[in-house]
Structures are given as structure tokens and as C-alpha cells.
């Protein structure tokens, strides 16, 4: 089994058609998160659901462009598959059988991408010379793909520097202390915002799990249990 960069899966439309969902490309993720943040200021549950439907509409531009309006979303997705779409596309975890309202669930859901310095990551990637402009880059990559690609690039750069330093008798590992921020970023992205730092067990998923020795593409499973009041 090959290692996975991200989680993906199918959602089922009302008419029975299955649509395969992967993480949103940055082009759509930006729009999605801008709308999603409005839920925290929503004054009613109806308003919260309207924002969620708009998030779904934005996401479906990538997966199923025939869905063009929030009314199309309502006609094609039940609540279970709406929440599955939010999870697979942006790491937003919500449950249809939760005692919390949609707004309350949205307020506590965190995919870990809100405070990223995305422009810095994109600038570093752009130097690879693969994309003609930033719009093409954002249309090509999702957040997990950006992190995985940068991780490979940085590891290659570091290995070369380490080799050159070793020739001069310098142990670069002992002198390198600027990896914490990057490791925490990877932990947040690969755990969909659940890992607080690189040492958090929830960070051991996907490619991180493989490096930690849990098998190819296999990490630790877990289940979040909400206490009932």
C-alpha cells in the first residue's frame, strides 16, 4: 500500500451519484475559509447553515461544477454527505448526530490553516520553476500537497548542506535549531489541525506515520468522543 499525502473519499449525491473528494486546491480553499469564518459571527442557526452551504458550493466548483448555487447544494446533498464534503475538502469535522448546533461545531473545528504564512510557502515553492504564475500554483496544489512538496525540497537542501558542512568537520544537526516552526506546520496540516506540535501523537499520520515506523501510509487511528452534558 502506497503512503498517502492526504485523506480522501466519496460522497453520495441525492440521485445516487458518487463524487470523489480530495483536499481543496488553494484557489478554492482561500474562498472556502473566508466564508467559513463568518459562521462564528452568525446570529442564528439558519444563517450558520447558509454559510455552510456556501462553503459546499465553493468546494463543488472543484469536484462537480454542475452544482452552481446553494440551492443546488440543498437539492443534491443530505446533511451527512454535506459534513463528509467539509471533512474531506477542508478538514472541517462536524457530526449530524452531535448535540451541538452547526455553529457551535464550526466554532470549535480547526483545520490548523488559519494562521499559516501561505504567501511565504508559495514563494519558496515558486522557485522550483514549475508554475508560470501563482494562480497556476494555487490551482494545482492543495495544502497537504504544498507541505509534502516543500518537505521533500527542504530535506534535499538540508542533506546537501549537511554533506558540505561535514566535509569541513561541522555537525550541522547540532547547530540547527530552526526546524520547530516547520515541524509544527507539518504536524497541523497532516493531522487536520488536531496536533498541537510535532511531538503530538495525532501528527503521526500519512507520510509522518511512515517515517515514524508505523508502516507504509499507516498511522495511529483515534476517535474523538464528545462528553454528553
> 188: closest CA among 222, 142, 144, 225?
144
User: Measured between alpha carbons, how far is 131 from 25 in angstroms, rounded to an integer?
Assistant: 14
Distance, first Cα to last Cα, the chain: 42
Given a contact cutoff of 8 angstroms between Cβ atoms, the answer to whether 144 and 22 are in contact is no
pLDDT bucket at 183, cuts 50 / 70 / 90: low
pLDDT bucket at 116, cuts 50 / 70 / 90: low
What's the confidence (pLDDT) of residue 79? 93
User: Measured between alpha carbons, how far is 85 from 93 in angstroms, rounded to an integer?
Assistant: 10
pLDDT bucket at 211, cuts 50 / 70 / 90: low
> 38: closest CA among 24, 56, 28, 52?
52
Give the mean model confidence (pLDDT) for residues 177-199.
58
What 3-state DSSP class applies to 19? strand
Give the mean model confidence (pLDDT) for residues 166-189.
63
Question: What are the tens digits of pLDDT across the range 117-142?
Answer: 788 888 888 988 899 999 999 999 99
Amino acid at each position: 500500500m502506497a503512503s498517502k499525502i492526504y485523506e480522501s473519499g466519496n460522497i453520495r449525491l441525492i440521485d445516487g451519484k458518487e463524487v470523489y473528494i480530495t483536499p481543496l486546491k488553494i484557489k478554492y480553499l482561500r474562498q472556502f475559509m473566508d466564508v467559513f469564518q463568518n459562521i462564528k459571527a452568525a446570529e442564528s442557526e439558519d444563517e450558520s447553515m447558509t454559510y455552510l452551504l456556501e462553503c459546499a458550493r465553493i468546494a463543488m466548483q472543484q469536484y462537480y461544477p454542475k452544482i452552481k448555487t446553494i440551492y443546488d447544494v440543498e437539492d443534491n446533498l443530505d446533511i451527512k454527505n454535506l459534513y463528509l464534503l467539509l471533512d474531506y475538502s477542508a478538514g472541517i469535522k462536524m457530526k449530524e448526530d452531535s448535540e451541538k448546533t452547526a455553529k457551535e461545531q464550526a466554532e470549535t473545528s480547526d483545520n490548523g490553516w488559519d494562521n499559516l504564512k501561505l504567501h511565504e510557502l508559495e514563494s519558496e515553492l515558486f522557485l522550483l520553476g514549475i508554475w508560470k504564475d501563482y494562480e497556476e500554483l494555487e490551482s494545482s496544489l492543495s495544502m497537504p500537497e504544498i507541505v509534502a512538496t516543500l518537505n521533500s525540497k527542504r530535506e534535499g537542501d538540508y542533506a546537501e548542506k549537511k554533506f558540505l558542512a561535514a566535509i569541513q568537520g561541522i555537525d550541522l544537526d547540532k547547530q540547527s535549531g530552526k526546524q520547530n516552526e516547520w515541524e509544527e506546520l507539518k504536524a497541523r496540516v497532516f493531522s487536520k489541525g488536531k496536533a498541537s506540535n510535532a511531538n503530538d501523537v495525532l501528527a503521526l499520520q500519512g507520510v509522518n506515520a511512515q517515517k515514524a515506523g508505523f508502516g507504509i501510509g499507516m498511522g495511529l487511528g483515534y476517535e474523538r468522543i464528545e462528553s454528553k452534558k
